[in-house]
Structure 1
Amino acid sequence: MRSNPPPGRDMPTRPAPHATKSLVVAGESVAQTDDIETFLIRFDPLEQRRQIREGMEAAIIERVAKDLLHVPVQTLLANLNLPSSTILRKMAREERLSPAESDRVARVLYVRQLAVEVFEDPALAAAWMQRSNAELAGLSPLEVLDSQPGYDRVREILLRVIHGVSA
């Protein structure tokens, strides 16, 4: 299994799957359901960095919450320590997230992708991200992704599972 490294490190390159609706990501037209895959897989780390610095589209919050994690938007916002009213306003106005907000969302995307590789099932990965974890002082992985140290710890736990070390 290949894991997604933290922002700024080498990532695998492969084309994103196809879909019907499109929107523009980094100047390229990609399928609406594929832009998360595009961000994670097709873009190199420098392009990912550029996307984060320019700000992701606020609509990604709803898709990550509902489609990837199966949680209410408010739950995702609370776990990432993002201001609900600000983010909901940006979503309604079709604005971009700030670089800091985008970085927190990117952490969720990286961890979720790694969890899917570990558990080989998106539903199991989403459930694991919401479950209390003793190695995180009883918090869920999703609850600690609001900071880089939390991201690092969750990634370390998943990498230990990949390498067969007791987690």
Structure 2
Amino acid sequence: MTLNQSSGRPAAARPAATHARKSLVASGRSSARHDDIETFLVRFDPLEQRRQIREGMEAAIIERVAKNLLHIPVQTLLAHLNLPSSTILRKMAREERLSPAESDRVARVLYVRQLAMEVFEDAALAAEWMQRSNAELGGLCPLEVLDSQPGYDRVREILLRVIHGVSA
């Protein structure tokens, strides 16, 4: 997989992005389904990802990320991302959208998981790594620092060093 040099996100051919965006808009869906997470990560270019974040992802994505991608309880993900559980659970129950700030935190998890999958070549190992204490993060696990941009930047730097063969 090739990474975009400026963002560190997976760079892929994006001919289907416009079609995918139109079908999402026409159907009224956003990022709540598994294929929409893949669309967000692989098909959408960074500007389209930004637009999706600013519009707010559907709150249902929280449950899918927690249960299907990371194999952790929703409450654990909310705590790690410093998101208010009562607010998010209410949004999930009412099928509302996350705020742009909440969506940005979820997007960071998706970006890091994608990069970790490239490093470990296994979804379970990537999820486990994201939840394991890391000395370079002061003993915190990567998931715990994704609530801020500096935390995301540090986790991304660690993974990129592994990809490029620099001792982590």
Fold conserved between structures, TM > 0.5: yes
Query: Is the 1:10–1:45 Cα contact (8 Å) retained in structure 2?
Result: no
1:27 Cα deviation after fit: 4.3
Cα shift readout 1:31-51 (whole Å, capped 9, x = no counterpart): 932110000010111110000
- Normalised by the size of structure 1, how large is the TM-score? 0.87
- 2:120 is the counterpart of 1:119: yes
Q: Over residues 60-109 of structure 1, what are the superposed CA-to-partner deviations in whole Å (9 max), with x where a residue is unaligned?
A: 00000000000100000000000000000000000000000000000000
Structure 1: any 5+ residue segments left out of the alignment? Answer: 17-23
Secondary structure in 1 matching 2:12:
coil
Aligned residue number for residue 65 of structure 1: 66
Answer whether contact 1:13 1:43 (CA < 8 A) is retained. no
**CA apart distance, 1:15:** 7.8
| 1:56–1:97 contact (8 Å) kept in structure 2 | yes
Is residue 146 of structure 2 the alignment partner of residue 145 of structure 1? yes
Between the two proteins, what is the percent identity of the paired residues? 83
Number of the residue aligned with 2:13:
13
Shift of 1:2: 2.6
User: What displacement does 1:7 show?
Assistant: 6.0
Q: How many residues align?
A: 160
Map 1:18-97 to 2 at 5 A.
25-27=24-26, 32-97=33-98
Gaps of 5+ in 2: 17-22
| Counterpart for residue 19 of structure 2 | none
Q: C-alpha separation between the residues in 2 aligned to 1:73 and 1:10?
A: 26
**1:141–1:15 CA distance, 2 compared to 1 (3 A):** farther
Q: Deviations over 1:134-156 (max 9, x none)?
A: 00000000000000000000000
Name the SS for the 2:83 alignment partner: coil
3-state SS of paired residue (2:167): coil
Counterpart AA for 1:126: A
**Equivalent position SS for 1:25:** helix
